[in-house]
Structure formats: structure tokens, C-alpha cells
Amino acid sequence: MATRFEVAAYIESDGEEKVSSAKPEQNFNDLGPKVTVWNVKTDKGAWWVVEGEGVPMNLYPQGAYFFSSDEAYSFHMGLMARLLTREAHDPELVFRSMSFGSTRFVGVRRKLHVASEALATITEPEHAQGVGLTCREVLIQLGREILLDREVSAEEETPKNADFKNRARLSLERLASGRENAEVRDATRRLADGAWTFACHVTHSPSSTRQDATVCITMTAAVVSLFEQLLEKVDQGEGVATCPSCKSRQVNVIDRQIAADKPKETILSCSYCGWSEVIEVDRPAPIGLDVKRCEGSSGSKRRKKTKRVSKK
Ligand SMILES: [Zn+2]
């Protein structure tokens, strides 16, 4: 059983309220673990705090939803049981063995997660086709992350957003360049091509099965993981900006002025999740004075372009 001090510290941890009293209301052991429900009063209201052997501590408001300690106990244990069951069937576990590196692109991974969750409910070919379609979307999104417009050389034409194969090929020329990387470059390109072709096949084939969908996700996840690891190595050396919210590399420097009487701002903006941050503000010139932006300040802006927004 937790101490009165631990329970009070838990409630006060967000700094919102002060505990005036905390006492154990009832003990339970009918489901196995010894669990205590605490009756806690604060300057803002009253809570049931449930904790016990191997049971994470959580709080429930008294009055509005949970009138008795018994109710709070039942709800808490049901919730914990469901969380544990969900963890056991978590599709993400399938991929954990593949992601040796850190998860790089939250948005791409989220989509991959959607595809793997859909695996559990496949009964018809259309469901398997749907997984193929989501895998294609994962690869398209990955293609946008691994090749930014500014990374395409002048001689090359920038591939369209949905042209994953060519985006992967051009990206690999940067991520695994030189003769010493020829093998990893070719192997990754073939795997990327294969994953794309197979995802298209699963999407269009009227005889797609659950097994096809599983192979499709496995190939897609392997490609995502490979690129994440190759990028990690190269970007670390170059200090490329990443979005602190979704880890996307699609972060741009934008100059904007909302209204004529408002100052001009330079912002960093993520085109994937919409996150933005003002990095520089130009105060408007006093009326009657024509102040030009000096060379020095535009130079400092260019430096900020390559600034690392967040270290992952
Ligand atoms: Zn973002």
C-alpha cells in the first residue's frame, strides 16, 4: 500500500491543487492483488485514488462520475485488465524487432500502425486490399520525407510526390553514396521497389488474402526502418531541421506579414503536421523613416535555415 505522502504527492504533482486530507477508504483483494482506494480531499474537490500491488496509481473524481470507492475500484481494475490485454495484442509489437533505430517519422509510423491494426479484422479480400492501399500511402509519405525538394540536384527532375520508386532512388544516392555503399544502396533500392510493387498488387488483386496483407506490411515496415536508419546517420552530420512535434523533415523557413500594421515575421513551419514557431520578428519602421533590412540580418536568416529545430 502506498503512503499518505505518496498519494498526496501524486495528486499535487501537476501543481493545480493542494491536498487537505488523504485516508484509505477501503481495501480490496477479490481479484488477486491487494488494492486500496483512498479518499482524498483537496482545496478544489474530492478524488478516489486507486493503487495497489502491481496496479498503476490513478485518480477518479468523486461526485460527478464515481460515487463510491467500490465503483472507482471496479472501473480501475476493468480498465487495467483491458490495457494489459490490448498490450498483449498490440500490432506494434510485431514491428518492434524490426525498429532497431529510434522511431524517426511519427506520421509514417502512425499510418503503418493503422495498417497493422486492420490486419486483425480481415475477413474479405477487400479488407486485405485496404491494407495494401494504406501501405502505399505509408510509402508515399515516406517518399516525401526521404527526399526534400532542395536535395534534388539541378540536373535531375524532382519526382512527383506519389513517385515513390524514383524518390527512393534519388534519396539513396545521397544516403548511401559512393562505391563503398553500392551494396546497401542496391539492396535498399530493390527492397523499396519490391515493397511498392507488392503494395500495388495487394491493392488491386481481387484475391488478396490476410497473408498477402501481412507480407505487405512486413516489407513496408522494413523499408521504413531501413530509411530511418540511413537518414539518422547522414542527417546527424548535417544538422537537418526536424519538426519537434512529428519529427518530419518537411520544415520550411517562411517570411510572413499578417497585416500591414503588424511586424514581419520569419517562422519555421512543418508542412506535415502544421506546427510553427516564430524565430525572428522585424519591428515595423517608425512612421516617416525608411529603414532597409541590412545585409547582416538576411545573412543570419540563412543560417537559421539549416538550424536544427530539435534533437530527437
Ligand atoms: Zn510536424
Bigger pLDDT: 86 vs 311: 86
End-to-end CA distance of the chain: 38
Asked if residue 57 belongs to a domain, the reply is: yes
Query: Which residues face 19 on adjacent strands?
Result: 42
pLDDT band at 65 (very low <50, low <70, confident <90, very high): low
Does pLDDT of 91 surpass 70?
A: no
Task: Give distance in angstroms: CA of 11 to centre of ligand 1.
Answer: 32
Gap between the Cα atoms of 211 and 171, Å rounded: 30
Interval between CA 247 and ligand 1 midpoint (Å): 6
- Contact (Cβ atoms closer than 8 angstroms) between residue 310 and residue 244: yes
Is 77 found in the same domain as 199? no
Share of the chain above pLDDT 90, in %: 37
Q: How far apart are CA 240 and CA 236, in angstroms?
A: 7
Residues 132 and 230 in one domain: yes
3-state secondary structure of 230: helix
Tally of structural domains, the chain: 3
State in Å: Cα 273 to ligand 1 middle.
4
Which triple of cell numbers denotes residue 272?
506535415
Grid coordinates standing for 28? 480490496
What is the whole-number distance in angstroms between the Cα of residue 271 and the centre of ligand 1? 7
Residues 105 and 220 both lie in one domain: yes
Which of 70, 88, 106 marks a domain boundary? Answer: 88
Residue 287: the pLDDT is 47
Check whether residue 125 and residue 78 sit in a common domain: no
Give burial (CB, 10 Å; 0-12/13-18/19+) of 216: buried
Residues 35 and 113 in one domain: no
Domain stop point among 214, 238, 262: 238
pTM value? Answer: 0.56
Centre of ligand 1 to C-alpha 163, Å, is 22
Query: What gap in Å lies between CA 51 and CA 34, rounded to an integer?
Result: 9
CA of 109 to the centre of ligand 1 (A): 13
Residue 254 to residue 268: CA distance in whole angstroms? 6
CA of 220 to the centre of ligand 1 (A): 22
Residues 185 and 273 occupy one common structural domain: no
101 and 233 co-located in one domain: yes
Measured in angstroms, how far is the CA atom of residue 18 from the centroid of ligand 1? 36
pLDDT of residue 312: 38
Q: Domain check: are 82 and 100 in the same one?
A: no
Question: 157 CA distance to ligand 1 centroid (A)?
Answer: 26
Question: Is the dihedral angle over the CA atoms 15, 19, 23, 27 positive or is it negative?
Answer: negative
Ligand 1 centroid distance, CA of 253 (Å): 13
CA separation for the pair 270, 55 (Å, rounded):
39
123: which DSSP letter?
A: -
Note the pLDDT of residue 308: 42
The residue among 62, 88, 114 that closes a domain is 88
Ligand 1 centroid, distance to 150 Cα (angstroms): 18
Amino acid at 242: T
Task: Measure 244 CA to ligand 1 centroid, in angstroms.
Answer: 7
Residue 262's domain comprises: 251-305
Looking at the structure, tell me whether residues 97 and 233 fall in a common domain: yes
Classified as helix, coil or strand, 68 is: coil
Q: In the sheet where 264-270 sits, what is the strand order?
A: 251-256, 264-270, 276-282
- Evaluate whether 250 touches 243 at the Cβ level (below 8 Å): yes
74-89 pLDDT tens trace: 877 777 666 555 544 5
CATH number at residue 128: 1.20.120
Ligand 1 centroid distance, CA of 301 (Å): 21
Q: How far is the CA of 267 from the centre of ligand 1 (A)?
A: 14
Across residues 227-253, what is the average pLDDT? Answer: 81
| Highest mean pLDDT: which range of 43-52, 62-71, 180-189 | 180-189
- Rounded to the nearest angstrom, the distance between the alpha carbon of 277 and the centre of ligand 1 is 11
Residues 296, 187: one domain? no
| From 150-154, 192-196, 229-233, the region with the lowest mean pLDDT | 229-233
Could you tell me if 269 and 243 are in contact, meaning their C-beta atoms sit under 8 angstroms apart? Answer: no
pLDDT at 17: 87
Q: Is residue 75 part of a domain?
A: yes
